[in-house]
Copies of this chain bind each other. A is one copy, B any other.
Amino acid sequence: MQRVTIKDVAEAAGVGVATVSRVLSGGSASPETRERVLAVAAQLDYRPSALGRNLRQRRTGGMGLLLPDLTDSFYGQLAEGVLACARAAGEPVMVGSTGDDAEQEAELVGMLVEQSVDRVIAVPSGGADVWLPAVRAGMTVVFADRLPPEPAPAAGGGDIDALADLMRLDGVAPPRQGEAPRTTARGLDVPAVLADDRAGVRTAVRYLTGLGHRRIAYLGVPGHSRRVAAFREALGGAVEEDLIVYAEGSRDSAYAAASGLFQARPDLTAVIAGGNVLGEATVLAARELDLRVPQDVSLVMYDDVPWAELCSPPLTVIAQPGHDIGYRAAELVLRGGGRRPRTVLLPTELIVRGSCGPRRR
């Protein structure tokens, strides 16, 4: 029970393999030949092997998808978006879960290289040390949901910093409609599909300050630096540094951070959780410390996951379109990272439910 090869089709149709290949991949051929080949191919149920093609073209079709954690519903949504687009295009997707760890991410990129997969969608955890080599090696990379961490501010101003080289968040241009950060690099730039964090966080902060809150905390992951930046910006000069707390990706770490935050600053009256896992941890920690939501503390969480509505009280959230982000990223990477919009910003929406109330203390 052998596989049907192009040679079989060629023989059966009485033509050369070159002709079959041309017909099947839309090259030129006389109408009659084309018809005959097509008929024979259909009859033999011929399916070209991706193996041969890949080797010849020195590249594997499809795309890689690297994200921190499939257990996180938001990344599940994002993945579904990518898969939907890939399926529409008939392309396979190789998925890797990085655990939000730069080293694992680098390993996975290595595997993709080994597989000659040259299109990748990534929710990046690592910085330029991971992504610069990949891009230099000719990969088409599209970032989704966030950008690689920015380089730590260089001590000496003139140092060439690889991170800065690959990724620069351009906050220079005058803010205008649809203002988008641009990720640039010398000669190469990586497109990205992001939620409009600036607007999202700003809206949330305004909503909270509108309710009278002054001591608002932000609980985030280091990866989403744009959200923290937006938080600082929205609050103006009035940020107290110890109201900004970071956790790693894991649930334990998130819980520890939330709990620590509540204990270190019992005077805070509102929290913005920069991700649904963080939101989850915040609810848990608050409950553990007998803080009532929203009477004692108001909560706004990133991501409109299905259970936000089930919580009691139902959570007020900053919704971002996970599915769309994935879909658009996949489109972009399939188009080879197209020339036009280097960064796509998708809108967020503040969905008000019951987890925020007026300041009471």
Within 80-127 of A, Cβ neighbours of B (below 8 Å) are at 80, 83-84, 87, 90, 92-97, 104, 107-108, 110-116
Q: Assess whether B93 is in contact with A95, with CB atoms less than 8 Å apart.
A: yes
A316 within 8 A of B: no
What's the minimum C-beta distance from A148 to chain B, rounded to whole angstroms?
21
- A contact residues, total (Cβ < 8 Å): 58
User: Which parts of A31-55 form the interface with B (CB within 8 Å)?
Assistant: 47-52, 54-55
- Point out which of A48, A50, A80 has the most chain B C-beta atoms below 10 A from its C-beta: A50
Which residues on B sit within 8 Å (CB–CB) of A113?
A: 47
- The segment from A9-17, A71-79, A265-273 found at the interface with B is A71-79
CA distance A97 to B284 in the complex (A): 32
Query: Judging by beta carbons under 8 Å apart, are A310 and B307 in contact?
Result: yes
> Which B residues are CB-close (under 8 A) to A114?
47-50
* Whole-angstrom distance between the Cβ of A55 and the nearest chain B Cβ: 5
Contact of A58 with B by CB under 8 A: yes
Q: A60-B51, A114-B47 are in contact. Are A310 and B280 (CB under 8 A)?
A: yes
A309 is an interface residue with CB less than 8 A from chain B? yes
Q: Which residues of B contact A73 (CB under 8 A)?
A: 71, 73, 76
Is A211 interfacial (CB 8 A cutoff)?
A: no
B60 touches A70 (CB 8 A): no
Structural contact, B51 and A58, CB atoms closer than 8 A:
yes
Q: Determine the residue in chain B with the shortest Cβ distance to A305.
A: B307
Q: Is A24 an interface residue (CB 8 A)?
A: no
Residues 110-169 (chain A) with a chain B CB within 8 angstroms: 110-116, 137-138
Q: 8 nearest interchain CB pairs?
A: A312-B312, A307-B307, A95-B95, A70-B76, A51-B55, A83-B97, A71-B76, A70-B79
A-to-B contact residues, CB < 8 Å = 1, 3, 47-52, 54-55, 58, 60, 62, 65, 69-73, 75-77, 79-80, 83-84, 87, 90, 92-97, 104, 107-108, 110-116, 137-138, 251, 277, 280, 283-284, 305-307, 309-312
Between A and B, 12 residue pairs with Cβ closer than 8 Å are: A47-B114, A48-B114, A49-B114, A50-B114, A52-B55, A70-B70, A73-B73, A73-B76, A84-B97, A94-B95, A307-B310, A310-B310
A49-B114, A51-B51, A280-B310 are known contacts; what are 17 more A-B pairs with Cβ within 8 Å? A1-B137, A1-B138, A47-B110, A48-B114, A50-B60, A50-B114, A51-B55, A55-B55, A65-B95, A70-B77, A87-B108, A92-B96, A93-B94, A93-B96, A94-B94, A284-B309, A312-B312
